[in-house]
Structure 1
Amino acid sequence: MSDNKSLKAELRTEDFGSAGARRLLRAKRIPAVIYGKNAPVHIILDSREFTNKMRHFSETALLKITVGKKQYECLMKDYQENLMIGEIKHVDFFEVTRGQALRTLVSLILKGNPVGTKEGGVLDQVMHEVEIECLPKDLPAALEADVSAMKINQSLHLKDVVIPAGVKVLDDLSKTVASVKGVKAETAAVVEEVVEAVAPAEPTKDAKAKK
């Protein structure tokens, strides 16, 4: 596993609560927790190490967290950040178990330049994430959908996406991932929406009676 996907942590056994968290943050350390099938493990991360490495993390990146002599394989599920000062305040990790299937969301990435866009069409990505189930060792960073052959007014569905071995898609395979729309059709739809928005309301029965 890449060093960018590894973290060292200390076990947090005392000084819990908001006051304790503030003391850790002032000391350039981050309170965190590892959830899983067992009891939560409260840990402390080095702020500098985590901040430098977190750009390599994603919801599907398997991370190795070393706490003393024990190691945990985890996914980073959430983090809290003070946007005003760019400070990470807390991190949640989910421990995965080798040999046990997990469910998670992965990104859908479109690859290629559709034929239809060269003919004046516009590529529209409808789905950006898909729910999958697989073993930790088979977890892909993302699913890629090749849209190169798409023409105007054609759609690519989830069933058309090449799924890696060992990965099961849990979403409806008939869902549209992307489509190429003609510019004229797109413009007509926008104009219709604008006309509907500014059209005068149908007079009510009372208003008609007053006339």
Structure 2
Amino acid sequence: MEIIKLSATRRQESGKGPSNRLRRTGNIPAICYGKGLEAFPVAVSPKALLEVLKSAHGKNSVIELAVEGSDKLTVMVRDYGYHPISRELVHADFLQVKLDQPVDVEIPVRCVGKSKGVAGGGILQQIFRNLPIRCLPEKIPALVEIDISELDLGDTVKAGAVPLPEGVKTRLPEDQTVVVVAIPEKGEEGAAAAPGAPGAPAAAAPAAGAKGAAPAAKGAAPAAKGAAPAAKGAAPAKDAKKK
């Protein structure tokens, strides 16, 4: 891995007010800390830091941080934050690391190839999108690829079988499932929509007189040409003469 160079200046003030004033000058507040290193505040360029985060290794990049008036530090980005609206970087934390001492990080996992099981109706389930690993800082891979071409229905890839470069070890148990081609449950694929469910076709009403059609309700008036006769016992019209 190529070590990226980044410059920083020490901050004399801390707190919300000074941090906001610092951001208006085009820099953002950050802090450096590590084992045997007393934490101290610095200021860095958000544009320069963003270039680091956009690089192949992203947050796992190893950085040579040149702090004005201090010795250079070998660090990694431990944390950073964005403004919720502008999405601009607003702060960062740098952790000092030693090139001869292993670090714990997570790297992206990418599946490549077309699984035989998926072609046969299986469902590819990637349990881990990021794989926790341990290795020396300069040996951190940008990502790990898993070839799923030979995976059939029900096949899995365990953590112990994930291909990793020499000197890189996963921090997961060896029998931990990372990828599986799951067998779909009965009716999971191609099942017809239940009546009344969104998108299900409405049942057609039976034609009049068709076999199985519901009989007319007892007492219903028969269809007749013209107005239907008054029901027996109906009240007389208001203008009728009394007998």
Specify the TM-score bucket, using the shorter chain as the normaliser.
0.7 to 0.9
- Quote how far apart the aligned CAs of 1:184 are: 4.8
- On the 8 A contact 2:52/2:58 being kept in 1, the answer is no
Instruction: Tell me how far apart the structure 1 counterparts of residues 72 and 136 of structure 2 sit (CA, whole Å).
Output: 18
* 2:64 is aligned with 1:64: yes
Q: How does 1:36-47 map to 2 (within 5 A)?
A: 36-37=34-35, 38-47=37-46
Contact kept, 8 Å, 2:116 with 2:152, in 1: the verdict is: yes
Structure with the higher strand share, 1 or 2:
1
Q: Deviations over 1:25-64 (max 9, x none)?
A: 1111101012211112321112333334432252322222
Structure 1 residues 151, 51: CA separation in 2 closer, same or farther (over 3 Å shift)? same
Q: What is the CA-CA distance between 1:15 and the residue it aligns to?
A: 1.8
1:57-115 deviations in Å (ceiling 9; x for gaps): 52322222222363222221111211212222110111111211222222222222212
* Deviating more after overlay: 137-146 vs 35-44: 137-146
Identify the range of structure 1 (70-79 vs 44-53) with the bigger mean alpha-carbon deviation: 44-53
> Which residue of structure 2 aligns with residue 11 of structure 1?
10
Could you list the per-position Cα deviations for residues 123-160 of structure 1 after superposition, in whole angstroms to 9, with x for gaps in the alignment?
11012223222111222222222211101121111111
* Corresponding residue for residue 119 of structure 2: 118
The answer as to 2:87 corresponding to 1:86 is yes
Compute the TM-score of the two structures, normalised by the length of structure 1.
0.79
AA matched with 2:141: P
Helix, strand or coil for the counterpart of 1:25?
helix
Structure 2: segments with no counterpart, 5+ residues: 193-243
Corresponding residue for residue 50 of structure 2: 51
Q: Which amino acid counterpart does residue 26 of structure 1 have in structure 2? A: R
1:175 Cα deviation from its structure 2 partner: 0.8
8 Å contact from structure 1 (residues 109, 142) kept in 2: yes
Higher Cα radius of gyration:
2
- What root-mean-square deviation, in Å, do the aligned CA atoms of Structure 1 and Structure 2 show? 2.4
- State the distance in 1 between where 2:180 and 2:187 align: 12
**Equivalent residues of 2:7, 2:44 under 8 A apart:** yes
Tell me the SS of whatever aligns to 1:124: strand
CA distance in 2, matches of 1:186, 1:96: 53
- Aligned positions, number: 188
Out of 171-180 and 103-112, give the one that drifted further.
Answer: 103-112
User: 1-side partners of 2:130 and 2:72: how far apart?
Assistant: 30
Q: Is the 8 A contact 1:28 1:48 kept in 2?
A: no
Answer whether contact 1:79 1:88 (CA < 8 A) is retained: yes
Whole-angstrom CA distance in 2 between matches of 1:186 and 1:139: 44
Give the SS at the match of 1:40. Answer: strand
Query: Does the 8 Å contact 1:59/1:105 carry over to 2?
Result: no
* Contact preservation (8 Å) 1:59, 1:106: no
Q: Aligned residue for 1:163?
A: 164
Kept after mapping to 2: 8 A contact 1:64/1:71:
yes
